[in-house]
């Protein structure tokens, strides 16, 4: 994800013995640590459009927001990230942290603030990042070239901040550092890190809005999805082209819809669901579903071996990762259920990233991120799109 120029340091080995030991900084000095990191990023990045060091300390971020950012960033650093060899084309994969973890209280809409007992952890985090800043000093000027897609996203985020659509520059700084620490040879999952970024910083001005550059990156992975009648609950009616489904109107005594089920165990025999024809074993895949005017639906993904019999709860415990609209209420089918404040979308976008273990849902019309599941997929087993509805009147349609 980062490219080093010919003049980039290539030496590896132990950390510089002259580097200072991490120091327990006071809380007020968090701004100084951010400034140091921003200065070094400005120096080693080939782009000069961001001017991070000039803006980061006057970006409107509060002390509490800076504290929370430093804790999250330190938690996301790979082991021994302060060693010079970790930043010279030999970087380790980030382990993205959960928002507001490690003792931080979650309060949507407000900055995460550390509890008093977390002061020691905050000081250690600042010390770790101080050492990271020292390591960045050992890199040559203009030695880091961001991937084209990443650079486009970072520049657009910077413009959003300029327009007041990001609360401060911390999300930009976070995205740049993530891209630099990404393991060489691996593609940064822009969608996943954007969603993580939004969860961490929870922009008040334009919450969850997906920048055009991120949206372009997501939708270019569009997959051809069609419904598989052989997996459908017998009460569902699938259109001949495999793009639409609704509840069928059954006339008692005219026929027995369960005849087919008695000959195959592939169908859902309880919940009114149907799978897509093609499953995915790798890669990134995006598709859209038109659900406008419907009051009940279920959309998401499911593991191939997940149970389809009876009325077991369709949630991550049974290898289903879905959003559901029921009686006008939008929910993520977690354990327990997560009720979402956002209004139901007219067109729902689904993004599946097998390698990164991410399933994300979007309001296509407004380009909003709705919800994401982080999943450790078994790459030996395929993941299938899944759809469900109990309405006879309005079809659920897959958008080409």
Query: Does some domain include residue 213?
Result: no
Q: Tell me if 282 is assigned to some domain.
A: yes
Q: What percent of the chain has pLDDT over 70?
A: 73
Q: How many other C-beta atoms can be found within 10 angstroms of the C-beta atom of residue 59?
A: 20
In order of 1, 136, 331, 367, the CA distances from 219 in angstroms are: 20, 35, 23, 11
Residue 241 burial (C-beta neighbours within 10 Å; 0-12, 13-18, 19+): exposed
Look at residue 167 in the predicted model and tell me its pLDDT.
77
Quick one: tokens of 283?
């890669």
**234 and 199, same domain (yes or no):** no
Tell whether 292 and 336 lie within a shared domain: yes
**219 inside domain:** no
> Do residues 327 and 179 both lie within one domain?
no
Mean of per-residue pLDDT scores for the chain: 77
147 and 32 within one domain: yes
At residue 56, φ and ψ (nearest 5 deg) are -65, -30
Domain that holds residue 316: 229-399
Tell me which residue has tokens 């330190």.
74
Which range has the worst mean pLDDT, 41-55, 82-96, 154-168, 378-392? 82-96
Co-location of 61 and 181 in the same domain: yes
pLDDT in tens, 344-399: 999 999 999 998 899 999 999 999 889 999 998 887 899 999 999 999 888 999 99
Residue 224 falls inside a structural domain? no
Output the pTM of the full model: 0.72
Q: What is the pLDDT of residues 125-176, one digit of tens each?
A: 777 777 777 778 888 898 888 888 888 888 888 888 888 777 788 888 888 8
Helix (H) or strand (E) holding 347: strand 347-353
Q: What is the CATH number of the domain that holds 296?
A: 2.60.120.920
Q: Is residue 255 part of a domain?
A: yes
Q: Which residues contact 152 (CB under 8 A, 6 or more apart)?
A: 213
Residue 223 within any structural domain of the chain: no
246: burial class by Cβ within 10 Å (0-12, 13-18, 19+)? Answer: buried
Claim to verify: residue 197 and residue 238 sit in the same structural domain? no
**Is the domain of 179 the same as that of 325?**
no
Structural contact between residues 350 and 208, judged by C-beta atoms closer than 8 angstroms: no
* 195 plus 299 within the same structural domain: no
Spatial distance between the Cα atoms of 136 and 83, rounded to a whole number of angstroms: 10
Closest CA to 30 of 95, 127, 99: 127
Residue 112 is predicted with a pLDDT of 39
* Total number of domains constituting the chain: 2
Asked if residue 44 and residue 74 are part of one domain, the reply reads yes
What does the angle CA 150 – CA 40 – CA 146 come to, to the nearest 5 degrees? 15
pLDDT digits (tens, 9 = 90+) for 263-274: 456 889 899 999
46 is a domain residue: yes
């Amino acid at each position: 994800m980062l490219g080093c120029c010919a003049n980039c340091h290539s030496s590896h080995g132990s950390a510089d013995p002259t580097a200072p030991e991490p120091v327990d900084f006071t809380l007020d000095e968090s701004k100084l640590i951010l400034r140091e990191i921003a200065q070094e990023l400005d120096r080693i990045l080939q782009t000069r459009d961001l001017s991070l060091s000039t803006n980061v300390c006057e970006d409107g971020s509060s002390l509490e927001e800076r504290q929370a950012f430093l804790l999250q960033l330190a938690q996301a650093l790979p082991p021994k990230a302060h060693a010079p060899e970790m930043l010279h084309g030999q970087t380790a994969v980030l382990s993205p942290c959960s928002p507001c973890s490690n003792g931080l209280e979650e309060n949507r809409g407000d900055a995460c603030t550390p509890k008093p007992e977390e002061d020691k952890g905050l000081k250690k985090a600042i010390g770790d990042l101080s050492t990271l800043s020292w390591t960045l000093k050992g890199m040559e000027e203009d030695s880091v070239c961001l991937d084209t897609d990443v650079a486009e996203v970072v520049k657009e985020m910077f413009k959003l901040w300029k327009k007041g659509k990001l609360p401060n520059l911390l999300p930009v700084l976070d995205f740049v550092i993530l891209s630099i620490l990404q393991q060489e040879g691996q593609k940064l999952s822009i969608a996943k890190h954007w969603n993580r970024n939004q969860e961490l910083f929870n922009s008040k001005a334009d919450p969850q809005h997906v920048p055009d550059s991120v949206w372009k990156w997501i939708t270019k992975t569009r997959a051809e999805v069609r419904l598989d009648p052989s997996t459908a609950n017998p009460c569902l009616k699938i259109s001949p082209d495999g793009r639409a489904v609704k509840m069928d109107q059954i006339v008692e005594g005219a026929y027995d819809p369960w005849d087919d089920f008695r000959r195959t165990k592939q169908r859902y025999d309880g919940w009114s669901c149907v799978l897509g024809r093609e499953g995915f074993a790798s890669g990134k895949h995006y598709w859209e579903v038109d659900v406008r005017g419907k009051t009940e639906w279920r959309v998401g993904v499911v593991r191939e071996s997940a149970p389809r019999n009876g009325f077991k709860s369709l949630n991550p415990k049974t290898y289903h990762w879905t959003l559901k609209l029921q009686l006008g209420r939008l929910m993520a089918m977690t354990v327990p259920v997560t009720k979402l404040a956002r209004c139901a979308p007219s067109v729902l976008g689904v993004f599946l990233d097998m390698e990164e273990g991410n399933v994300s849902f979007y309001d296509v019309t407004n380009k909003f991120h709705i919800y994401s599941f982080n999943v450790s997929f078994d790459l030996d087993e395929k993941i299938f799109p899944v759809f469900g509805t109990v309405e006879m009147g309005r079809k659920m349609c897959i958008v080409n």
